[in-house]
Amino acid sequence: MSDEIELIGDGEGMAVIGEPEAVDRFLRAEGLPSRDLGLGRLRAVLSTGSGAAQASAQIAENSGRWVKLTKESAAAMKKFDVMKGSGAGLSRGVLTENGKIKGLVQFTRGGVGSLTNPAVLAGAAGMMAQIAMQQQMDEISDYLEEIDAKVDDVLRSQKDAVLSDMVGVDLVIDDAMTVREEVGRVSEVTWSKVQTTSTTIARTQSYALRQLHALAEGLEKTKLRDLVDATRVAESKAQEWFAVLARCFQLQDALAILELDRVLDASPDELDRHRLGLAAARRNRLEMITQRTEVLVDRLEAAAGLATSKVLFHPVAAGAIIRSSNHVGGEITRFQDGLGIENSHDAQEAKQWLMAVAEVRDRALDAGGEGVDAAKRLGDETIDRARSLSTRIAAGLAKRALPWQKTDEDDDEPEASLRR
């Protein structure tokens, strides 16, 4: 029995490979949740070539588990100082274990050293990419369930033929993933059913991005009344398009999983290059989505800034803008989390904004006269609740929660239009 386990990292996750008991001991010792890597599928890569039979036998004796790259798993990788590997974007290392993890050693030919075989390493990296995408697909499903999004209803309500075609694409890809799960591979027949669906998904993604851009453009208002209407439209529509984008991204990941399986089956020598190409395309899609959502965030922040500047004399209109902006900001944060996008906004921005509102109110009280009357509309209790809400902030705009209230004194022109 070998005491060695091999670690392979690709920036998204870590594969832990070795005899089942050794792998389990390592994962328990480090407290890392994992998913099955499906190592047995690598035997197809070793159907020909010198040493294929021996390497295939070694693979059959070993277990492979995949661990998502989190703060905890990244710390484990750093602790064991995993070496940079020969494969693009890969890090590898072998740990020796005699009841306890002793530390990193150089690669050897024995034990799980079959993974020094370039074809096997490429296959392992391809499967790691698949599991990482499956993990993200599961998280997107959780996001869609959390917001109770009926993506099919949104798509069917649109008159655009491309969007209605997406309903069919959804079914075709889901069927192919089911067949893959049952059969363990993607046959030429299965692939032929899904290979043309990418165009429809891309068109739908582009359409949804254009809708978000239109919402952002609508927020480029200078009159408070117009801005109230624009933020309310964004509040009612943004989540629908976030849901459509999330489903598009999920289906693109599913298609990439199927594609890697097909390449592994038909052209294993091309698997590593194909994996890297798909990873680059995926990063580009994420970057495009991130840029569009950040534009919307910027517009919402500008709207909140305008509302803040007019809060003393138009508290109800300003409050309506803040409420809608806060709602959309929260949806953006949840959407970005669902797709694994790191939010660039921090809690401090919102805290500073809340403090700024309080300071405006305090200055008005010091000024006396009309400023005092206007400041009373904010109320001490409202400011205190706003400050307490700021402690729950996880991203800038998404946490600008200020629960404004109407009063009998709110008779400024924009507020009157809101009450009608």
The 3-class SS string of 38-54 reads CHHHHHHHHCCCCCHHH
Does residue 257 surpass a pLDDT of 90? yes
Tell me the pLDDT band of 117, cut-offs 50, 70 and 90.
Answer: low
Residue 121 confidence (pLDDT): 78
**Average pLDDT of span 153-173:** 78
Residue 161 confidence (pLDDT): 66
Which of 113-117, 337-341, 367-371: highest mean pLDDT?
A: 337-341
Q: Is 249:338 a contact under the CB 8 Å cutoff?
A: no
Does residue 115 surpass a pLDDT of 50? yes
Residue 269 confidence (pLDDT): 84
Sequence-distant (≥ 6) Cβ neighbours of residue 308 within 8 angstroms: 318, 353, 356, 357, 360
Residue 86 confidence (pLDDT): 47
Residue pLDDT, tens place only, 172-215: 999 999 999 998 889 999 999 999 999 999 999 999 999 999 99
Does residue 327 surpass a pLDDT of 80? yes
Sequence-distant (≥ 6) Cβ neighbours of residue 274 within 8 angstroms: 126, 259, 260, 263
Does residue 255 surpass a pLDDT of 70? yes
Q: Is 128:13 a contact under the CB 8 Å cutoff?
A: yes
In the block, tokens 């200055």 appear at: 363
Residue pLDDT, tens place only, 296-321: 999 998 888 888 888 777 888 888 88
Q: Is 105:96 a contact under the CB 8 Å cutoff?
A: yes
Q: What is the rounded CA–CA span in Å between residue 55 and residue 124?
A: 13
Considering Cα of 350, then 352, then 353, then 355, what sign does the dihedral take? Answer: positive
Does residue 159 surpass a pLDDT of 80? no
Tell me the pLDDT band of 64, cut-offs 50, 70 and 90.
Answer: confident
Tell me the pLDDT band of 79, cut-offs 50, 70 and 90.
Answer: low
Distances (CA, A) of 378 to 25, 115, 215, 374: 59, 66, 29, 8
Sequence-distant (≥ 6) Cβ neighbours of residue 225 within 8 angstroms: 317, 414, 417
Residue 276 confidence (pLDDT): 92
Residue 320 confidence (pLDDT): 87
Does residue 72 surpass a pLDDT of 50? yes
Residue 88 confidence (pLDDT): 56
Question: What is the b/e burial string over 143-167, where b = at least 16 CB atoms within 10 angstroms of the residue's CB?
Answer: bbeebebebeebbeebeeebbebbe
Residue 119: which of 95, 91, 87 has the closest Cα?
A: 87
Residue 192 confidence (pLDDT): 95
Question: What is the b/e burial string over 372-386, where b = at least 16 CB atoms within 10 angstroms of the residue's CB?
Answer: eebbebbeeebbeeb
Residue 378 confidence (pLDDT): 46
Supply 398's token pair: 């998404």
- Of 78-92, 218-232, 262-276, the one with minimum mean pLDDT is 78-92
Which of 88-97, 129-138, 296-305: highest mean pLDDT?
A: 129-138
**Average pLDDT of span 18-31:** 84
366: left (phi over 0), alpha (psi -120 to 50) or beta: alpha
| Angle, alpha carbons 359-362-365 (nearest 5°) | 155
Residue 82 confidence (pLDDT): 55
Residue pLDDT, tens place only, 390-402: 333 333 433 333 3
**Average pLDDT of span 409-413:** 41
Does residue 105 surpass a pLDDT of 50? no
Does residue 4 surpass a pLDDT of 90? no
Residue 60 confidence (pLDDT): 62
Average pLDDT, the chain: 74
Percentage of residues in the chain with pLDDT exceeding 90?
32
Task: Provide the whole-model pTM.
Answer: 0.75
Residue 123 confidence (pLDDT): 82
Residue 258 confidence (pLDDT): 97
Sequence-distant (≥ 6) Cβ neighbours of residue 164 within 8 angstroms: 155, 156, 158
Q: Is 278:375 a contact under the CB 8 Å cutoff?
A: no
Q: Is 200:165 a contact under the CB 8 Å cutoff?
A: yes
Does residue 347 surpass a pLDDT of 80? no
Sequence-distant (≥ 6) Cβ neighbours of residue 61 within 8 angstroms: 19
Sequence-distant (≥ 6) Cβ neighbours of residue 254 within 8 angstroms: 133, 137, 173, 174, 176, 177
Q: Is 41:125 a contact under the CB 8 Å cutoff?
A: no
